[in-house]
Structure 1
Amino acid sequence: MTSMNFTQKDPPQWLLDFWKEIDDKTFGKGFDCLADDAVCNLGVADWHGRNTIRDNLRQFIDRGFTAHHDVVEYWDGGSIKMFHGKVRMTFDDKSLPVVRPTMAHFFYMDQNDPSKVSRWLGAVGPTEF
């Protein structure tokens, strides 16, 4: 069994920059927080490599909605960071309502470079029942 202490903190700039790249649909330097060989398991996604993660998120976001991520709480456990938030999803199809599903994300920091995320596990939603 492994135990770890977590401290609630303000979200770090790298996390805010990461979400801003997604919200602004720019997908640029904010993704530098990911290690080159990072793995992302976001819902059913199993993406390997920073550029693959970036490209697949771009394709997902560009499928008819704009996102805005809000940080509700951020917890720092050293090698693992946890984030809870809400995402406002505004659809291009104006007949669809804006939704604000809850998100939970775990960021495992790279052992060789603790400033980089080596694994990202996340879940969003559901968007409706």
Structure 2
Amino acid sequence: MRNSSRLNLEHITGAQISRSAWRQRVVEAERGFTAGFRANSALFFYFFTTSVLISISVVLGLSGMQWALLLLSVVIAISSELLCFTAQKLGEILDRRQDEEITRLISMVAAACFLLLAGAITTIVLILGLRLYELYG
């Protein structure tokens, strides 16, 4: 099914449209995010959790710094999930080689993703917990 919202002249002119380097990175990031969102159902959980988290944060009246840390933690958590999912898919592709070093590297990426996720969750819990303590403690 063709996407009619984009103007694709490649098939007519036979030439690719050149983009500046920063714009190409943005396009690649958008494609990667879309592919990850379609392939990994865990991202739906993250977006649902983020909406609940934003609602709780509005009710608690977080400060600007707390909002910044909360946003950073959410971005780290989602990025970590995308990176871990990518490493798993890469592992499935490279698993045919049965290379022990590749398996070890993918395990290291998974460990780094877990550490990032644990740090993000800890930061969020601390921010909300301290704010609750300020209000009701």
Superposition TM-score, scaled by structure 1 size: 0.27
Higher relative helix content: 2
Superposition TM-score, scaled by structure 2 size: 0.26
